[in-house]
Amino acid sequence: MKTRALVFVFRLLHVLPLAILAPLGCLLGEALYIVARPRRRVAEINLALCFPDLDAAARRRLARRHFRVLGRSLLERGLLWWASRARLERIARIEGEAHLRALREAGTPVIMLAPHFVGLDMGGTRLSIAYDFVSIYARQKKDPVLDRWLYHGRSRFGDQLLLSRQDGVRRTLKAVKDGRIFYYLPDMDYGRKDAIFVPFFGVEAATITGLSRLARLAGARVLPCVTRILPGSGGYVVEIGEPWADFPGADVEADTRRMNVWLESVVRTMPEQYYWVHRRFKTRPEGQERFY
């Protein structure tokens, strides 16, 4: 019932102009900062680990800014579920699309590296208006109502293929080789399986090696893709970078380190927009103390 009520509220609010919806989302984030104490604690621990040069007051301000954009991204989810194609195209513009088009025209398989910034889902939905993707979908088994709407939002345009992690690598590889773009999110802590420990902001982080392995198996080029929430009511920008040169390399660990180094560089340009409420350092090397 609680989820149904939230969905109803999102549906009512999505008709508002972004100039009103955005500040409402920031207010929601302020409220979450106060009441969602467990998630706030996770964000504060992550920020302390990743930005030890900031004092406690600066980290608290950064955490608060994070919750404000997080609130925006949550409230504006209604746009992903119900806004028209034309409105989404106005709200979220794409930069660097020529890089993607060039690879598509050449018939080259493509993996889009799309890390967990809070605007991630808007970027995916905006791109799905023009392209067919394969992506990994984490089922919300405990909340079927939310699961249904998340699936709807990610598949309402085009011919999108959403696979669960249980579907394995073969179906993903086949889809990429058949011409679908893989919208890939490999920057979270999924445990020890298929992961190695490499630094992320100087902290050893369990990081899956899938980007390197899948690029090699599919013969794919990697395009970095970052979605930024713009200040005020400026909407979103989906930034597609140039294909990574000399990737994958000969060493999977070096490739995985390269991914994290690149991600760090982007996070530093908008630190409040990375998904700090995720327990990124949950899995620890043997003998190391837990952070959370």
| DSSP structural state of residue 243 | P
Report strand pairing: 221-229 vs 236-240: antiparallel
For residue 162, is it within any domain? yes
For residue 103, is it within any domain? yes
183 φψ region: left (φ > 0), alpha (ψ -120 to 50), beta (else) = beta
For residue 69, is it within any domain? no
Task: Judge whether 225 and 114 are in contact, CB under 8 Å.
Answer: yes
Over the stretch 43-57, which tens digit does the pLDDT of each residue have?
Answer: 999 999 999 999 999
Report strand pairing: 221-229 vs 181-184: unpaired
- Separation of alpha carbons 200 and 265, rounded Å: 11
pTM: 0.94
Structure tokens at 288: 């190391």
For residue 30, is it within any domain? no
For residue 25, is it within any domain? no
- Separation of alpha carbons 10 and 78, rounded Å: 5
For residue 66, is it within any domain? no
**Angle 2-13/144-155 helices, nearest 10 degrees?**
30
pLDDT at 1: 55
Structure tokens at 8: 């109803």
pLDDT at 68: 98
Task: Judge whether 172 and 182 are in contact, CB under 8 Å.
Answer: yes
DSSP helix/strand/coil, 274: strand
For residue 46, is it within any domain? no
pLDDT at 147: 80
Residue 166 burial by Cβ neighbours in a 10 Å radius (0-12, 13-18, 19+): exposed
How close are the terminal C-alpha atoms of the chain, in Å? 31
Task: Judge whether 42 and 279 are in contact, CB under 8 Å.
Answer: yes
Query: H or E stretch including 5?
Result: helix 2-13
Number of domains composing the chain: 1
pLDDT at 136: 87
| DSSP structural state of residue 117 | B
For residue 147, is it within any domain? yes
Over the stretch 240-284, which tens digit does the pLDDT of each residue have?
Answer: 999 999 999 999 999 999 999 999 999 999 999 999 999 999 999
Please report, as a single letter, which amino acid is at residue 268: R
- Which structural domain, as residue segments, surrounds residue 212? 85-273
Strands (E), the chain: 92-95, 110-113, 133-136, 161-163, 181-184, 195-200, 203-208, 221-229, 236-240
Residues of the chain with pLDDT under 70: 1
